[in-house]
Amino acid sequence: MAETRGKARMDAAAHHGNKKQKIETVSARNLAKAEAAMHEDVESFEDFLKLMENSLSLDEAQAMLDLNEQDSKYGTDDEIFRRCADQMFYGPMDRCVLCGGGMEFNGSEFRCLGFFSEWTKCDYTTKEDRTKQEEWKIPEGTKNNFLKQWKKNQERRRRPKRNVPAEQKFFDGMRIALQGRLTRTQPEYKREIEKYGGKIVSNLKEGVTCVVIPDDELSLGGSSKLLEAMEKNVRVVKEAWLRECLAKKQRLPFDDYDVSTVLPGESAVEDTEDMLMAEIKLAGKRDVHKDSRLKAGAHIYERDGIIYNCAFAVCDFFASLNHYAILQLIELDDGTIYIYHKRGRGGDRLDVHERLEEQQSVEQGIEEFSNIFEDLTGNEFEPWERHKAFSKKRLKFFPIDMNIGYDACAGALHFRQVAVCAAHTKLDPHVAEVCKLIFSQESYRFALSEYGHLIPDLPLGNLTEFHIHRCEEILHGFAKYLKESKDEGIKRDITCVDKSNRWYSLLYSIRPLVFTDIVELAELAAPALECVRDISIASQLIGNMTEETSLDDPFDDSHIPLLSNMCMKLIVLISHQRTNAVKRFFYGVFGRGIYCSDASSEAAQYGFTSIDKPDGFLMLAVVSLGDRVLELTKPKKDVSEYEKERVDIKALGKRKPDESEFTTWRDNIIVPCGSLTDSGVKDPFLDNNEYVVYDPRQVKLTYLVSVRYDEIGV
């Protein structure tokens, strides 16, 4: 038997050797023909490609790419062969000017294959020829006849030039208006649209071909400009139309993206209600994901202080990634072990992949859990779980550190329970209204949804302080870059994309966007982080109320200590979430401080109210300004100095309250309640005055005011 197997191996080796000899003979015979045709047209390159594929192994092609400092791993086997053949045929390429990565020619332009960072794929493309003058290298001492013959012919052949087609002007004649916060910056879109023959316009009177809006603009209620466009019968399309036109390099029909006939608000209420009523599928570190559909008694497996439950996210605008993932090791009461794994894209019900697999043993389950964790992240599980040791890898997920406890979006009372409590409580009606707000799931869900962070599969309202601190670090680094960097053009654009990718990989959103200036960061990212932090605190305070509420008076009985001890804290959280309280810690343009204003309209604009939700809150506070008050029209470069030195800031705006209308309250406290007038300040940074203090002891919360806002001009 052994002799037979040995003979079979020898026969196979002989057959392989004959095949290799035949290929090399054919290669040598046909190489001259291929070389002679090198200067004719694209079909000649295709002939060369076929010949090379028959003459080289994948390993040989990758080795040559490495030898010539080109990308040897990116893409499929066919793409790697084509890249190698292209650079043998036309010459090797220079490195990317942005990230230093390898380049390739895709038939229409030169594009980078590298990565700007571990978080961001490089998106650099150019029509400029990136071919180097140096010759293509082959491995020294190669025994491949095809390569040896090719090297001889290379010395006497004239290198052909790539045929780079002119830009297709598929936007030629189009006048496009951009509306709202799109996923790419307006300067980026402007360059791309003008590159392909179009023009960006800002005024609907300029003869607009179409208005491009964020994909979810209608579900958020729309805007006055959107209504104006519809009234003027201007075509309104989703941003997806523009993205796909640029991706496919052609002008696509409007039909599949047209929203011109849908009035803002028609679907907004329904979509918002669906979002606020959606089942929260994962509420915390010890919570079993609802989609596992395992019977009662299922629980997350724990051993030696490790809880086998992880959530992940990854965002890379250039790689078209905005995905989340869940990984759980679940144990039933009878000892059966399951792995539950889910991946999806927020807001896309079709782009979801999940599996539930029974494991033969706990040890097998732990091994499989660790393998999937490493596949998702490129890191080992136990060092992360025990020591938070983690290094971000390209195109891989980043873990979201869930807290033990129950997300308030699931643990607070749902609306029917709130109604029961309100009907039976013995509290003063005004206090009861506040309790309804504090203990309502809707309050927390609505707050997260305003920033696009209400994700049923991710407990973003129940994060650890460690994770929130990491978010702070990214936010501070981003703010520092926006204020101090001298980068311009494409370098600044890609850096902003990179830092936005970092932000959304840690604080996942169904509506990610690229931040390009400090005001956007202060108005959108910073409040979102504060919102997540506040709800995470509330989640620890509230716990899971849904299973213990009865027709007795839960506000008066089991939760009155919470109400009395933490009421003011939770009021601040909720008023921030629902309307953005006048007083709160905020990562704004003057650093992390407590921001106040002497104009109610300034606070009201952060209320995030809408036509269908006009009610909000203002927090009225007494603020004591010290002796060191700086009057500024704009912040310094390093705003951290303000907090360190404990100075107080009066940021001057375009308008100020009329001092003749000020009133004096108790203890001679001046209340700036005058109507707004021109301040006379030259080139102010703000519309209205803002006051910033860095010591909470200087602020005394006094009144919570319920306000109903009327939309003017709607």
Give the DSSP letter string of 147-190: HHHHHHHHTTSPPPPP--PPPP-TTTT-EEEE-S--SS-HHHHH
**Mean local confidence (pLDDT), 143-167:** 82
Percent of the chain whose pLDDT exceeds 70: 81
- For the chain, the average pLDDT equals 82
The 10 Å Cβ neighbour count of residue 684 is 18
Cα–Cα distance for residue pair 151/532, rounded to 1 Å: 62
DSSP state of 557: T
Q: How far is CA 347 from CA 131, 248, 271, 510, in A?
A: 42, 23, 11, 6
Instruction: List, in sequence order, every residue forming a beta bridge with 93; answer none if it has no partner.
Output: 131
Map 237-294 to HEC letters.
EEHHHHHHHHHHCCCCCCHHHECCCCCCCCCHHHHHHHHHHCCCCCCCCCCCCHHHCC
Q: How far is CA 355 from CA 12, 64, 185, 277, in A?
A: 41, 40, 37, 25
pTM equals 0.76
Look at 347 and 148; give whichever has higher pLDDT.
Answer: 148
Overall residue count recorded for the chain in this entry: 714
Give me the sign of the Cα torsion angle 449, 452, 457, 458.
negative
SS3 399: strand
Instruction: List, in sequence order, every residue forming a beta bridge with 440; answer none if it has no partner.
Output: 413
Q: How far is CA 168 from CA 315, 318, 490, 594, in A?
A: 30, 22, 21, 52
State yes or no: pLDDT of 355 exceeds 60. yes
| Cα three-residue angle 273-278-281, rounded to 5 degrees | 165
State yes or no: pLDDT of 68 exceeds 90. yes
Determine contact, residues 606/617, Cβ cutoff 8 Å: no
The pLDDT tens digits of the residues spanning 395-405 come to: 999 999 999 99
The pLDDT tens digits of the residues spanning 193-203 come to: 998 999 998 77
Q: What pLDDT is recorded for position 457?
A: 95
Q: What pLDDT is recorded for position 111?
A: 92
- Which two structure tokens, joined as six digits, stand for 548? 């213990």
DSSP state of 651: E
Q: What pLDDT is recorded for position 12?
A: 38
DSSP state of 672: -
Where does the pLDDT of residue 5 fall: very low under 50, low under 70, confident under 90, or very high at 90 and above?
very low
Q: What pLDDT is recorded for position 333?
A: 93
Cα–Cα distance for residue pair 531/468, rounded to 1 Å: 11
At 518, give phi and psi (nearest 5°): -65, -30
Cα–Cα distance for residue pair 529/577, rounded to 1 Å: 11
**Mean local confidence (pLDDT), 69-74:** 89
The pLDDT tens digits of the residues spanning 225-268 come to: 677 777 788 889 999 899 889 888 889 999 888 886 665 444 44
Cα–Cα distance for residue pair 261/138, rounded to 1 Å: 61
The pLDDT tens digits of the residues spanning 525-567 come to: 988 998 899 899 889 888 888 775 444 555 655 455 455 444 4
State yes or no: pLDDT of 39 exceeds 50. no
Cα–Cα distance for residue pair 162/131, rounded to 1 Å: 9
User: In b/e form, how buried is each residue of 491-524, taking b as 16+ CB within 10 angstroms?
Assistant: ebbbbbbbbbbbbbbbbbbbbbbbbbebebbbbb
Cα–Cα distance for residue pair 500/174, rounded to 1 Å: 30
Q: Which residue has the tokens 């209400």?
A: 454
| Angle (deg, nearest 10), helices 560-578 and 429-438 | 70
Instruction: List, in sequence order, every residue forming a beta bridge with 300; answer none if it has no partner.
Output: 330
Q: Quote the distance between the C-alpha of residue 230 and its chain's center.
A: 30
At 68, give phi and psi (nearest 5°): -95, 15
Cα–Cα distance for residue pair 35/48, rounded to 1 Å: 8
**Mean local confidence (pLDDT), 652-675:** 90
- Which two structure tokens, joined as six digits, stand for 423? 């009907």
At 622, give phi and psi (nearest 5°): -95, 125
The 10 Å Cβ neighbour count of residue 372 is 18
Determine contact, residues 324/512, Cβ cutoff 8 Å: no
State yes or no: pLDDT of 679 exceeds 70. yes
User: In b/e form, how buried is each residue of 256-269, taking b as 16+ CB within 10 angstroms?
Assistant: ebebbeeebbeebe
Q: What pLDDT is recorded for position 179?
A: 84
CA quadruple 182, 183, 186, 187: dihedral, nearest 10:
180
Determine contact, residues 377/396, Cβ cutoff 8 Å: yes
Instruction: List, in sequence order, every residue forming a beta bridge with 675; answer none if it has no partner.
Output: none
Q: Quote the distance between the C-alpha of residue 12 and its chain's center.
A: 53
Q: What pLDDT is recorded for position 577?
A: 38
Q: Quote the distance between the C-alpha of residue 676 and its chain's center.
A: 38
Q: Which amino acid is at 14?
A: A
- Which is nearest to 313 in space by CA: 282, 292, 356, 279? 282
User: In b/e form, how buried is each residue of 202-220, taking b as 16+ CB within 10 angstroms?
Assistant: eeeeeebbbbbbbbbbbbb
State yes or no: pLDDT of 637 exceeds 70. no
At 179, give phi and psi (nearest 5°): -130, 135
The 10 Å Cβ neighbour count of residue 703 is 9
- Which two structure tokens, joined as six digits, stand for 389? 């040791």
State yes or no: pLDDT of 478 exceeds 90. yes
Q: Quote the distance between the C-alpha of residue 620 and its chain's center.
A: 34
Q: What pLDDT is recorded for position 606?
A: 61
Q: What pLDDT is recorded for position 32?
A: 54
Neighbour-count burial of 580, counting CB atoms closer than 10 A to its CB (0-12 exposed, 13-18 middle, 19+ buried): buried
Cα–Cα distance for residue pair 434/411, rounded to 1 Å: 18
Identify the top-confidence range among 137-146, 344-353, 635-644.
Answer: 137-146
Cα–Cα distance for residue pair 491/99, rounded to 1 Å: 10
Look at 477 and 2; give whichever has higher pLDDT.
Answer: 477
Give me the sign of the Cα torsion angle 361, 367, 369, 375.
negative
The 10 Å Cβ neighbour count of residue 395 is 14
Percent of the chain whose pLDDT exceeds 90: 41
Cα–Cα distance for residue pair 327/586, rounded to 1 Å: 34
The pLDDT tens digits of the residues spanning 581-627 come to: 334 444 567 877 888 889 877 777 665 555 566 777 777 889 988 88
Q: Which residue has the tokens 């640029």?
A: 246
Q: What pLDDT is recorded for position 75?
A: 86
- Which two structure tokens, joined as six digits, stand for 645? 């030195």
